[in-house]
Structure 1
Amino acid sequence: MDELAHKRSGASGAKTALFLMFRIGQERYALQAVDVVEVLPRLQLKPIARAPSWVAGVFAYRGVVVPVIDLCELTFGRPAQLRTSTRLVLVHYRSAAGRPPRVLGLLLEQANDTLRCDPREFQPYGLDNRQAPFLGPVREDDLGLLQWVRVDDLLAAEVRELLFPEEPLDPASLEESR
């Protein structure tokens, strides 16, 4: 059922949420659509010297410099494939309580489909994966398992500070040091 038909039918019952689905290799993942700011084609990024390999670079978005994470590299240690379906997905990243959300870019393979379902259909998978706390519960369907990626859990504290420092570098201080 498409989104418009779903609204017209006045579907009742369980509360549903919209998810953006994508792949890393053959594995399927999903982001909750309320976390998504915009889905863009893959863009040219400015690389960041000496950054971790999964930091794909930065780009300017509406006057703000946005860091971009290659989720394939972060998760499985290989870069996202250059495909027409590889997208740059901008998400709201909430780094800490009391701080406003920031825009974070994610390189995602085959990010070209959505799913509307009850979030309670995602179930724990029985593993406490502390190395990848962003990999949330799973949902089973005819194609296998779909795993929920929790945006706010993507970055460890030291990475968050690297990409979104509490005290951004003041350009004036660079001039003073000359």
Structure 2
Amino acid sequence: MSELTAKRSAVKQAAHALFLVFRIGHERYALQAIEVAEVLSRLPLKPIAQAPHWVAGVLAYRGAVVPVIDLSALTFGTPAQARTSTRLVLVHYRPDATAQAQLLGLILERATDTVRCNPAEFQPYGLDNPQAPYLGPVREDAQGLLQWVRVADLLDDQVRALLYPTPPLDPALLEQWQ
């Protein structure tokens, strides 16, 4: 391989990003892998009273209390099915570029695949959906449409205040509840 060919390959690879693919019902969605902290099996959660129906609860994880939402329930009102491929995916949640990232858990169905592609291949889908600002552009491939879920846009101000109280919850208290 010539030096020029090697440089072109490196540039081509740099334009691609890795995405974690999951499903809600029969539809495919994707999270940019750089936002994913860890993929876990589904774990027991402590419910949060009076929270929206799509807030699955909280988890004590490595010295922190991590809120968890069910993305299927948030998006279509139906909780994720308990499958062997249903995962608890911890993501780096940052509502804006200046905020410090915090862990947020997402319950995702069939979160077992990845795809590497150029993020520029995702295109607007022509619908302004203010109730679901986290649903981003779409990309077409051999399996149909794949929609990008933007982690930063998952929570509105009211839910963010509920899930990330100031001061933060003490994980020792959470372990006593379980």
Shared fold (TM-score, shorter chain, > 0.5): yes
1:149 paired residue number: 149
1:90-112, CA deviations, whole angstroms, 9 ceiling, x for partnerless residues? 00000344331100000000000
CA distance in 2, matches of 1:144, 1:170: 42
Question: For structure 1, which runs of at least 5 residues remain unmatched after alignment?
Answer: 1-9, 172-178
Q: Percent of pairs identical after alignment?
A: 70
For residue 13 of structure 1, report the CA deviation from its aligned partner.
2.3
Q: Which residue of 2 aligns with 1:71?
A: 71
Does 2:25 correspond to 1:25?
yes
The match for 2:140 is: 140
What does residue 7 of structure 1 align with?
Answer: none
- 2:48 counterpart residue number: 48
Question: What TM-score do you get using the length of structure 2 for normalisation?
Answer: 0.86
1:3 aligns with: none
Give the number of equivalent residue pairs.
163
How many angstroms does 1:49 deviate by? 1.3
Aligned residue identity for 1:13: K
**Distance between the aligned counterparts of 1:95 and 1:159, measured in 2?**
12
* Alpha-carbon contact 2:65-2:169 (below 8 Å) kept: no
Gap runs ≥5 in structure 2: 1-8, 171-178
- Measured on the aligned residues, the alpha-carbon RMSD in Å equals 1.9
TM-score, L = length of structure 1: 0.86
Question: How far apart in 1 are the matches of 2:45 and 2:169?
Answer: 23
Partner of 1:127: 127
Matched position secondary structure for 1:13: helix
